[in-house]
Amino acid sequence: MPAIPIIGRKILRFERVESTNTLAHEQADLGEAEGLVITAEEQIAGRGRLGRKWLVPRGTSLQFSILLRPPWTPQHATRLTPMAALAVVSMLEQELQLAPTLKWPNDVLLGGKKVCGILTESSVMGDSLAYVILGIGLNVNYTMRDYPELAERATTLQDVVGHELDCPHLERALFDQLNRHYFRLMTGESLVDEFRARLSMLGEPVRVANQATIFEGIAEDVDEDGALVLRQDHSRIKLYAGDVTILKP
């Protein structure tokens, strides 16, 4: 753990924003230091990957964005998504004694349903990484029964534990875990074994939709950058983004 925690050393709290990721980009471009957190009670244009919507009722959940400036080349930015996913997992294990699993690349699941999504957006200048915005949405105090279009594949902590939880406490615990895991990455520790151990799809036949291209193969492994290693008939390919479906016989 760093002597002085980086993540959350400055927190800007808003009632209502379009997207905390958008605000964090603006602050990054204004020169804000690493560790800034932007959080909001309500996002009117919360987003997932590829412009998808992230929908959460006002004042119920954790939804925030962190500005990070790791001194890496742009291709390493993808390792922040598994870092954040493991921080969420550790927080849920330690605070609530839950047993989350992970779906590559950016979902934390409880009972096979998505309880948390992560959106990592990088800004690149020339050959270097200017900054990364790590957006995290964790569903807490509402029930997915009110959202039938999501209920089959999504859940909330309230649905899992059966009662409301203390959001500020969970937020503090999550910042602690994010600081711990970010520090481990920055000091050269590998998180890949812990990520692998929670991935539900390794060894399974999968289909990965990556924008317009569909790949099929065996989900063999993940690498240090969080890339999925897909084994095909005579080759292996690495994928850095996409949506995975496990192909059941």
Which residues sit at the interface with ligand BT5, rule CB under 6 A? 19-21, 43, 46-49, 52-56, 63-65, 106, 114, 117-119, 135-137, 139, 150, 154
Shortest spacing between CB 132 and ligand BT5, in angstroms: 13
**Measured in whole angstroms, how far is the alpha carbon of residue 98 from the centre of its chain?**
18
Q: 55 or 229, CB closer to ligand BT5?
A: 55
Instruction: Give the CA-trace dihedral at 7, 154, 209, 125, to 10 degrees.
Output: -20
Task: Please return the burial class of 48, using the count of CB atoms within 10 Å of its CB with bins 0-12, 13-18 and 19+.
Answer: middle
Q: Tell the smallest beta-carbon distance from residue 38 to ligand BT5 (Å).
A: 8
Between 117 and 217, name the residue whose CB sits nearer to ligand BT5: 117
- CA-nearest of 116, 157, 108, 131 to 21 is 131
Nearer to ligand BT5, 20 or 179 (CB): 20
Q: What minimum distance in Å lies between the beta carbon of 96 and ligand BT5?
A: 17
Q: Give the CA angle between residues 234, 239, 241 to the nearest 5°.
A: 155
Q: Least Å distance between CB 226 and ligand BT5?
A: 14
Q: How far is the CB of 187 from ligand BT5 (least distance, A)?
A: 27
Kindly state the tokens that stand for 71. Answer: 């001194």
Q: Are 44 and 17 in contact (CB under 8 A)?
A: yes
- Return d(Cα 240, Cα 90) in angstroms, integer: 24
CB of 115 to ligand BT5, least distance (A): 7
In the bound state with ligand BT5, the residue whose beta carbon lies nearer, of 53 and 145, is 53
What DSSP assignment string belongs to 50-116? GG-B----TTSSEEEEEEE--S--GGGGGGHHHHHHHHHHHHHHHHH----EEETTTEEEETTEEEE
Judged by CB, which is closer to ligand BT5: 120, or 179?
Answer: 120
Closer CB to ligand BT5, 6 or 115, in the complex? 115
